[in-house]
Structure 1
Amino acid sequence: MGHRFDPTILREYDIRGVVGRDLGPEDAHALGRCFATVVRRAGGRKVAVGYDGRLSSPMLETALVEGLTASGADVLRVGLGPTPMLYYAEASAEDVDGAIQITGSHNPVDHNGFKMVLGGRPFFGPDIVRLGEMAAKGDWDRGDIEMGEGGVESRDVLDAYVSRIAQGLAGLGTQALSDLRMGWDAGNGAAGPAVERLTGILPGEHHLLFTQVDGTFPNHHPDPTEDANLAHLKALVAERKLDFGVAFDGDGDRIGVVDGLGRVIWGDQLLGIFAEDLLARMPGATVIGDVKASGALFDTIARHGGQPLMWKSGHSHMKAKMHETGAPLAGETSAHVFFADDFYGFDDALYAAVRLIAASARLGRSVTQLRGAMPEMLNTPELRFQVSESRKFAAVEEVRERLVAAGAEFVDIDGVRVTTPQGWWLLRASNTQDVLVARAESATAEGLAALIAQIDEQLAASGLRRGPQAGH
C-alpha cells in the first residue's frame, strides 16, 4: 500500500507543513521509505539524519528512521543540531550517501519539514515531485531478503563540526583577534549548543543570547531577516559596546548581522563584504547573487575584479549553480551564504559568522567601517501579496511579454527584473506559496516611488493589485 502526501507540503526546496494538520509521523515514515529507495537504487546505502529543536522534531525523526530502515537503508543519527551540522556529517563522511534534516527553519512553531541532500547535491524540485509519485504508488523497496532491514548507528559530530567551523580563521593567529568583542543570538534555535562550543574556542570576548534550545521560541521568533527579531541583539551590542553581533534562524543556515552602531547588514550587503575579501585572494572568481539582490552588490563584485552572476532565488538553486559554474562564493538576500573556496559549498550561518571575523581582519577594517562604506540605496522589503496558484506564473509571463513589446531592459531568469534610469524593480512568483513577490531599489525616494508605480501599472494591466502583505 502506498501513501498520499498532502500536495501542499511538497514544496520546491523541501517538504514542509503544519504538524497535526497536513504533516505527521505517517508522512515522515513514507518519506523514509521513498528516500531510502532512491538512495538504494542509486547504488547507495547509508542516510544521515538530524533534527532541529522543534517540539515535533523527535517524533518525526523516529518515524523517518523507521521508514528508512524498513526500505533497507542504514541510518546514521547525528541528533539535535543545526541543518549545516547535518550537511557536514554528509559531506565529511565517506560512507554516507544522502541526508535528511527535520526542521521547520524560521517558520511558526507548529510547522516542521524535511531538507534533503543526495550524493552531495541538493534534492529539490522534480526530485520532490518524484517522491510524491513514488509514495502514491507504494513504489518503495523492502529490506534485503538476506540482510533484512537497515541498521542504525548514532554518532556525535558536534565537536568535529565546531572544530571545522573554527578553521575559517586559519592563518590569522589568535593574537590578531584577541581584542574582538562580539554578540551572538541563537534565538533558542538548534544552533545554540554549537554557538556555545564555538565561542568557547574562538579568541576574543563573546556575549551569548538564548542558546538554550526551546521549540516554543520564548524570546523572539528565529528569523534574522526581520528587523524586529534583532532587537535583543542590537540592545546587547549597544549596552556592551561590542564590535558587532550575529543572529541565526531556527536551523542555523541563515545569518543576521548588526554592526557596532546597531545597523543591520542585510544578506546582499554581507555578500559584498565576503566578495571583497575572497577576490583579494582569488582574483577574477565568479560570485553569484540572487535576483533580489541590490545592484550595489553586483557593482561591488565587478569593482573588486570578480565576475558577478545573477541567479534564481532559493538555496537549492544557488547550490546547484555553484556546482555547475565552480563559483567559490554565492549568497542570497535572504542571508543564505555559500562558501566553496575553503568549505563545502553549503549554507552555514556559523561558518559565515567566522568568515566575517576573518574578512574584517584580512581587510583591516572593522565590521562597522565596512558597513559604513556601503552606498546608501533605498529599497523596499520584499512586497509579498497573495495571488492564486493558477494565476501567479501566468501574470508574470504577461508582464514579461509587455516588457518585450516595450523594448524594456530586463532579465527573466526568475520572474522579471527591470532596469530603468531610476533603478530596478522585480516581480516574481514564489515557488513555495500562492504569492507574488515584488521589490524595488533606487538612489532616491522619488525614484523608488516611480519604480513602485511601474510595478503597480504592470499588475493593473494584468487585472491585479498589491493587496495585504502575505507571510512567509
Structure 2
Amino acid sequence: MTHRFDPTSLREYDIRGIVGQTLGTEDARAIGRSFATLLRRAGGHRVAVGRDGRLSSPELEAALVEGLTSCGCDVVRIGMGPTPMLYYAEATLEVDGGIQITGSHNPGNYNGFKMVFQHRPFFGEDIQGLGRLSAEGDWDAVEAGDAGTVTDYDIEDAYVGRLLAGYAGGSFRIGWDAGNGAAGPVIEKLVAQLPGEHFTIFTDVDGNFPNHHPDPTEEKNLADLKALVAEKGLDFGLAFDGDGDRIGAIDGQGRVIWGDQILSVLAEPLLKAEPGATVIADVKASQALYDRIAELGGKPVMWKTGHSLIKTKMKETHAPLAGEMSGHIFFAQPFYDYYGYDDAQFAAVQLIRAVHTIGKSMNQIKDDMPAMINTPEMRFQVDESRKFAVIDEVLERLEAEGADVDRTDGARVNTADGWWLLRASNTQDVLVARAEAKSQEGLDRLMAMIDAQLAASGLQRGPQAAH
C-alpha cells in the first residue's frame, strides 16, 4: 500500500488543502500511518490529537486516528479546541507528539494538519519526508492485536487555568470576537474568570463562519468588534482566527493595533523585568518595533516569517517573546513560564497584563506609537517555479547597485524614505511585498522601487492573491 498526496497540500509549516479536492480522509489516514511510523522509529508511541470546529474535522480526525493506531501509536484525543490547546497538551501530557486538525484562518472548505514531534515543530523537510514515506508505503504496520489504543482526555479546564495562572492584569472593559472559530468555548470560560466587564460575540463554534471570515489580520473582519467596542464604550477589543493561534486587537476608538504593535506593547513590561532580553519579529514588522525594543533596552532580532521558523529561532536565542505581523505571538521561559509556542488566548491575557503594567489606556498607548505610513501585506500570484528565482534576481541587482539590503527572508531594503520588502511565500505561489515610510511621498517612491524590480524580472504587481 502506498499513498500520494496532492503536491500543493504539503506546505512548509503544515499540510493543508481544499476538502474533497486536494485533501480528504485517505490523506488523513496516510498522515497517521507515516507520523506513527516516524515517531515509533524515534522511540515514541503516544500522540495527542485535537481538532478545530470545521465541518470536515470529525471525519478527518477519525481517519487520522485510524492511521496512527494501525501503525502502533496510542492516541489521546483532546476533542475540539484551539490549536494552542493541542500544543499545551503535547507540552504537558505524557505524549511524544501532537497533531491538530485545522484549516487555520483559511475559508471553511479548507482543512489541514499542524504537527509537533517530540516537543519540536514538525515542518519543512519533515513534511516532505512524511510525503515520501507515504509514497513508498514504508509504514510500520502492526498486527491487529498490537494496534494502538485510543483514550479521550478533557484538557480544556486545565488549559484555561494555565492561561490565567498568576494573573495580575487589572480590571478592564473588553470586547472579544471569536469569529465562530474553535477558541470560542475557551474564551467564554476565560472571560468568566477575568476581572472587569467582558462582552463576547461569535463564540459559538460554526464551521460555516456565518458572521465573518476568521482572520483578524484583515481589517474588514474586525467590523463587528469595532461596532461592539463603540456601542458599549469599551477600553479595547480582541479578535481571534479560526484555530486560536492568531490575535487581533483594536483600541477604544476602533483603531487597529497591528501584530508588530501588539508585540511592542508586550515588550515593555518584559524588558522592564528582564533588561537585555531578546525579542524576535518577522521581516514584515515595522522598523518602529525594532527601534522600540532597542529603546526599551532589549535586543531586537529580525527573522524569517513562519511560525515553525520563529519557534526554532526562539529556542536557539533563548528569546522569551517573539511575534509576526500575522498575529502569531510566542511566549517562552523564563519570564512567561510558558512553552515557546504561539497562543492567541495567552497573548490576550498577557496584553491585558501589559496595558495594566504600563499604566496607560490602550488609546493612549496607540497615540504614543510613531506615525508611520505603510502598506498592508500585498500578495500577488507568480508561477511557483519562478517565485524564488525572482527574489534571487532582485537581490543580485540590488547588491550590484550597492543598496542597503537585509537578506534574512527575501529582500528588505532600507532607504532614506523608509524600507520595502519583497519575499517569496513558503506556502503559496505568491510574492509578498510591504513598504513603510514617514510620508506618503516617501511611500510612493518605495512602491516605485518595488515595481521597477518586478518589471526588471518581467513581472508586475498583479491583483491581490488570496491567503
Counterpart in the other structure of 1:177? 170
1:167 to 155, 165, 168: 165
Structure 1 residue ranges (4+ consecutive) displaced by more than 3 angstroms after TM superposition: none
Instruction: Within 5 Å, give how 1:270-285 maps onto structure 2.
Output: 270-285=262-277
Distance 1:301 1:168, change over 3 A: farther
**Post-superposition shift, 1:143?**
2.3
Secondary structure of the structure 1 residue equivalent to 2:319: coil
Question: Which amino acid in the other structure matches residue 158 of structure 1?
Answer: E
| Residue 361 of structure 1: how far off its partner (Å) | 1.1
1:58 aligned residue: 58
Shift of 1:271: 0.4
- How far the C-alpha of 1:311 sits from its partner, in A, is 0.2
Q: Which residue of 427, 432, 448 corresponds with 1:432? A: 427
Alignment-derived partner of residue 26 in structure 1: 26
Give the equivalent residue in structure 2 for 1:356. Answer: 351
- Alpha-carbon distance between aligned partners in 2 of 1:460 and 1:276, rounded to the nearest angstrom: 42
CA RMSD in angstroms, aligned pairs only: 1.0
Q: Where in structure 2 are the equivalents of 1:1-40 lying within 5 Å?
A: 1-40=1-40
Q: What is the aligned length?
A: 464
Match for residue 70 of structure 2? 70
1:176-325 → structure 2 map (5 Å cutoff): 177-178=170-171, 180-325=172-317
In structure 2, the partner of 1:122 is 121
Assess if the C-alpha contact under 8 Å between 1:291 and 1:414 holds in 2: yes
Q: Report matched runs for 1:72-91 at 5 Å.
A: 72-91=72-91
Identity %: 66
1:322-333 aligned at under 5 Å gives the runs: 322-333=314-325
Which residue identity does 2:80 align to in structure 1?
A: L
Instruction: Give 1:195 shift.
Output: 0.5
Q: Secondary structure at the match of 1:385?
A: strand
* CA–CA separation in structure 1 for the residues paired with 2:20 and 2:439: 48
Structure 2: how far apart are the matches of 1:271 and 1:234? 21
1:29/1:64 contact within 8 Å kept: yes
State the 1:383 CA deviation: 1.2
Deviations 1:38-90 (A, max 9, x none): 11111011000000000000000000000000000000000000000000000
Q: Structure 1 residue 369: deviation in Å? A: 1.5
Instruction: State the distance in 1 between where 2:173 and 2:22 align.
Output: 45
Distance 1:325 1:97 in 2: 24
CA distance in 2, matches of 1:40, 1:461: 50
Post-superposition offset of 1:144: 6.0
| Separation of aligned partners in 1, 2:6 and 2:390 | 26
Which deviations, in whole Å up to 9, do the C-alpha atoms of 1:82-136 show, x marking residues without a partner? 000000000011x210000000011011000000001111100000000000000
Instruction: Describe the SS at the equivalent of 2:146.
Output: coil
Q: Are the equivalent residues in 2 in contact too, given 1:337–1:347 (CA < 8 A)?
A: yes
Structure 2 CA distance for aligned equivalents of residues 92 and 202 of structure 1: 24
Determine the structure 1 residue equivalent to 2:155: 157
Answer yes or no: is the 8 Å Cα contact 1:459–1:465 preserved in 2: yes
Give TM-score scaled by structure 2 length. 0.98
Q: Kindly provide the amino acid, as one letter, of the partner of residue 328 in structure 2.
A: H
Gaps (5+ residues) in structure 2? none
The answer to whether the 8 A contact 1:337-1:349 is kept is: yes
Letter in 1 for 2:170: L
Q: How far apart, in 2, do the equivalents of 1:372 and 1:32 lie? A: 50
Distance 1:208 1:255 in 2: 15
Instruction: Deviation per CA, 1:3-57: give whole Å up to 9, x if none.
Output: 0111110000000000000100000000000000111111011000000000000
Distance 2:162 2:414 in 1: 42
Shift of 1:362: 1.1
1:169-205: CA deviations, max 9, x gaps? 2xx2xxx724x11010000000000001111111111
Residues 285-323 of structure 1: CA deviation (Å, up to 9, x unaligned): 010010000000000000000000000001111001001
Q: What is aligned with 1:417?
A: 412
Distance in 2 (CA, whole Å) between partners of 1:168 and 1:368 is 26
Aligned residue in 2 for 1:382: 377
| Separation of aligned partners in 1, 2:377 and 2:356 | 32
Q: Residue 133 of structure 2 corresponds to which residue in structure 1?
A: 134
Query: Hey, what's the Cα distance between the residues in 1 that align with 2:15 and 2:209?
Result: 22
Amino acid at match of 1:365: K
Cα 1:463–1:228, aligned 2, differ >3 Å: closer, same or farther?
same
| In structure 1, distance between residues paired with 2:161 and 2:131 | 38
* CA distance, structure 1, for counterparts of residue 348 and residue 364 of structure 2: 17
Q: Which amino acid aligns with 1:114?
A: F
Q: 1:240-288 deviations in whole A, cap 9, x for unaligned? A: 0001010000000000101111100000011011111210011000100
Q: Distance in 2 between matches of 1:185 and 1:164?
A: 21
> For each residue in 1:194-238, what CA deviation from the matched residue of structure 2 results, as whole angstroms up to 9, or x when unmatched?
001111111111001011000000111100001011000000000
Deviation at 1:372, TM superposition (A): 1.3
Number of the residue aligned with 1:336: 328
